[in-house]
Amino acid sequence: MKRRALQFFILGLFLLSSLAEGAEFPMKEVQIIIPWAAGGATDLIFRALATHTAKYLGKAVVIVNKPGGGGAVGYTEGAQAKPDGYTLTAAVTPLTILPHQVSTAFTYKNFEPILNVVSDPSMFLVRSDAPWKTTREFVDYATGNPEMISVGNSGAGGGVHLVAVAFEKAIGAKFNHIPFSGGGPSVTALLGGHVNAVSVSPPEGIEHVKAGKLKIIALFAEKRLEMFPEVPTVKEQGIDFAMGMWRGLVAPKGTPPEVIKKLHEAFKKGMEDPAFIKNAKDMAVNLHYLGPEEFGKLMAQDHEFYGKLIKELKK
């Protein structure tokens, strides 16, 4: 009897401790793992969001870049982190792609969804002095000259790489795909003339487009970008193709619900902060809030979608 009473006492202390931990969260800074190098779309978006969320969370939000393996290095570390809410991961479309391409230690099921932040179309950028003035000229050259156009991406097997592979199949072309450690390095390579084009999503390269150094040669969106209304989509030019990226936040599986709730509330306020909204507009990114449940459903749907797409592309 005494033994059972002691067990209940210990269990009660454990539950009280867990509740207290959730009530006191956060006690220290929170870090966000970015599975790519600094300077890419995911890095830029979450650095801005981290800055504007800190005041709502009550502690600093720190960005930690963990590039490698097309995102696999960062996602593996994020999935294996202690589920206490202090190590989060930027969840981007490749999280639902990589497990279908290579053997990984994770899937989206190894994470707890917090919220989705952005949903953006992908696009191809080229230098402003490139020989192609329109999408049609670019496509005609690509189809007539297999593997002569080198297209940089943020990592082999990643989201924008898959976009480029899907696009070449849609137009009947063959690109020479060049992987980099992130979107930032791929854009740098394009500026330096080391590749002919890059497959990216906003805000990657946007500042250089605004400065006139780069141009959007193919926009894979359903509608034109508000910042560049003069740039038509590929659909407007007779190519039935549209693909993009979503970017959100996740925590390791098993993170307490009360901690997820606090993180969600703080980052949602960060998303709604006028300064962040202005940052997003300046970067030409499309804010698209989804709560934990809806974001979880999106990841599940895309995991199934990309699994089927990758099988088709391998045929």
Q: What is the pLDDT of residues 171-203, one digit of tens each?
A: 999 999 999 988 899 999 999 999 999 999 999
Residue 168 predicted with pLDDT over 60: yes
| pLDDT for the residue 252 | 98
Residue 2 predicted with pLDDT over 70: no
What is the pLDDT averaged over residues 278-290?
94
| pLDDT for the residue 9 | 53
Query: What architecture is the 121-244 domain classified under in CATH?
Result: 3-Layer(aba) Sandwich (3.40)
Q: Can you tell me which residue has the tokens 């070449």?
A: 168
- CA angle 214/219/224 to nearest 5° reads 105
Q: Are 189 and 181 in contact (CB under 8 A)?
A: no
| CATH fold label, 13-119+245-313 | D-Maltodextrin-Binding Protein; domain 2 (3.40.190)
Mean pLDDT score of the chain: 92
- Give SS3 for 284: coil
Lowest mean pLDDT across 40-44, 76-80, 137-141: 40-44
pLDDT above 70: percentage of residues in the chain: 92
Say which DSSP state 197 is in. Answer: E
pTM for the predicted model, two decimal places = 0.80
What is the pLDDT averaged over residues 55-69?
96
Annotated domain spans of the chain:
13-119+245-313, 121-244
Torsion angle of the four alpha carbons 8, 10, 16, 19, in this order, in degrees rounded to the nearest 10 = -100
What does the alpha-carbon distance between residue 5 and residue 7 come to, in Å, rounded to a whole number? 5
Q: Read off the amino acid at residue 287.
A: L
For residue 110, the number of C-alpha atoms closer than 13 Å in the C-beta half-sphere is: 18
Residue 244 predicted with pLDDT over 80: yes
| Domains 13-119+245-313 and 121-244 alike in fold | yes
Q: How does pLDDT run across 116-164, given as a tens digit for each residue?
A: 999 999 999 999 999 999 999 999 999 999 999 999 998 887 788 989 9
